[in-house]
Amino acid sequence: MKIAITDKVHPLLINGLEEKGFTVIYDESIGNETLRELLPQLIGVIINSKIRMDKTMIDIGDQLKFIGRLGSGMEIIDVAYAHSKGIKCINTPDGNCDAVGEHAIGMLLCLANNIIKANQETKNFNWQREENRGFEIMGKTIGIIGVGHTGGALAKKLKGFDMTIFGHDKYKSQLDENLAHVQLTTTEEILKKADIISFHLPLSAETKHFANETFFESCRKGAIIINTSRGNVIDTKALVKYLENGHLGGVCLDVFENEKVNAFTEVERSLYQKLADHPKVVMTPHIAGWTKESLERIASLLLERINNVEF
């Protein structure tokens, strides 16, 4: 019984599968075309964002029992079709949620305290104190849109910052006891009251460009936007417009609408450059869930969930 793993994983996943009698094909260079050739012989495939398990791919894998996702986003898998074929779809949103929560806070603190700018200036013997006076997040109001694993993890970590924490989640009418400090409310109230808005949404037809011109126009003036979920949740053109006209007070982005920088259109390159050049923007290359601990935790959780698949 063969399982292919197409992206970097912690060795405990490979070792654990082999101990259970599976033959593991582990090759980080496997792309969609190579996987097409392998699929007919596989009972399982473990993927990350570069692979798309659509209907065609699923049909080729006529022996598949499961599709594993390293991380959370299931938009790369046609889950409904896989289920109709009796294929179990497994992901690990609880594997890197703490890493994402910490990263969102780190980006916010960097923006609030001019840390990136001040770091570079100080290293260049340029001692600028007043010019780098920041602001505290204590006493501010943050709105978390999507209070699942990652949004919930962020809210828990923010508890000690003495902030007012609003949460909105279309699919939740109440939260766990450990999130009792979060006030569930509407998107409209978040837009009206939040100094900071953080997105933790999956990508779907419903959430694409959730934050558009109307959304940003309705934000409080000076609001800060954080996105560590999926790039297409935000309309980048609208984001740049409201950042440049001063309506938004800052932006922290770990994800982008197009993350293949070498394949940018001229419009995409122009928008990206405007973000990169803006002094109130902090950018990272989709690494919010990318820690040593999350690498191991994802592997452990995925192995545990594969154990529940019937072969």
Contact 251, 282 (CB under 8 A): yes
Q: What is the pLDDT of residues 76-106, one digit of tens each?
A: 999 999 999 999 999 999 999 999 999 999 9
Query: Residue 126 has what pLDDT?
Result: 98
Q: Using a CB cutoff of 8 Å and minimum separation of 24, what contacts does 33-39 make?
A: 35/4, 35/6, 36/60, 38/2, 38/4, 39/64
Domains in the chain with CATH codes: 2-93+292-306 (3.40.50.720), 97-283 (3.40.50.720)
Residue 173 dihedral angles phi and psi, to the nearest 5°: -100, -15
For the cut 90, the answer to whether the pLDDT of residue 154 exceeds it is yes
Contacting residues for 9 by C-beta, under 8 A, at least 6 apart: 26, 46, 70, 295, 298, 299
Q: What is the pLDDT of residues 276-294, one digit of tens each?
A: 999 999 999 999 999 999 9
For range 224-251, the mean pLDDT: 98
Query: Residue 202 has what pLDDT?
Result: 94
Please tell me the least confidently modeled range out of 2-6, 71-75, 109-113. Answer: 71-75
Which position has the token pair 């097409």? Answer: 36
Query: Residue 49 has what pLDDT?
Result: 87
Mean pLDDT rounded to a whole number for the chain: 97
Q: What is the pLDDT of residues 184-202, one digit of tens each?
A: 999 999 999 999 999 999 9
Per residue, what are the HEC states of the chain? CEEEECCCCCHHHHHHHHHCCCEEEECCCCCHHHHHHHHHHEEEEEECCCCCECHHHHHHCCCCCEEEECCCCCCCECHHHHHHCCCEEECCCCCCHHHHHHHHHHHHHHHHCCHHHHHHHHHCCCCCCHHHCCCCCCCCEEEEECCCHHHHHHHHHHHHHCCEEEEECCCCCCCCHHHCCEEECCHHHHHHHCCEEEECCCCCCCCCCCECHHHHHHCCCCEEEEECCCHHHECHHHHHHHHHCCCEEEEEECCCCCCCHHHCCHHHHHHHHHHHHCCCEEECCCCCCCCHHHHHHHHHHHHHHHCCCCC
Query: Residue 146 has what pLDDT?
Result: 97
Please tell me the least confidently modeled range out of 170-174, 267-271, 281-285. Answer: 170-174
Going by C-alpha positions, the residue among 194, 178, 196, 177 that lies closest to residue 186 is: 194
Counting residues of the chain whose pLDDT is more than 70, the rounded percentage is 100
For the cut 90, the answer to whether the pLDDT of residue 6 exceeds it is yes
Q: What is the pLDDT of residues 18-70, one digit of tens each?
A: 999 999 999 999 999 999 999 999 999 999 989 999 999 999 999 999 999 99
Structure tokens given for 119: 């770091």
Contact 282, 107 (CB under 8 A): yes
For range 223-245, the mean pLDDT: 98
Query: Residue 310 has what pLDDT?
Result: 84
Question: Which residues is 2 bridged to in the sheet?
Answer: 23, 42
Query: Residue 131 has what pLDDT?
Result: 97
Calculated CA dihedral for residues 200, 201, 203, 205, nearest 10 degrees = -150
The pTM score is 0.95
For range 282-308, the mean pLDDT: 96
For the cut 90, the answer to whether the pLDDT of residue 311 exceeds it is no
Catalytic amino acids? 230, 259, 286
CA distance 145 to 20: 40
Contact 72, 293 (CB under 8 A): no
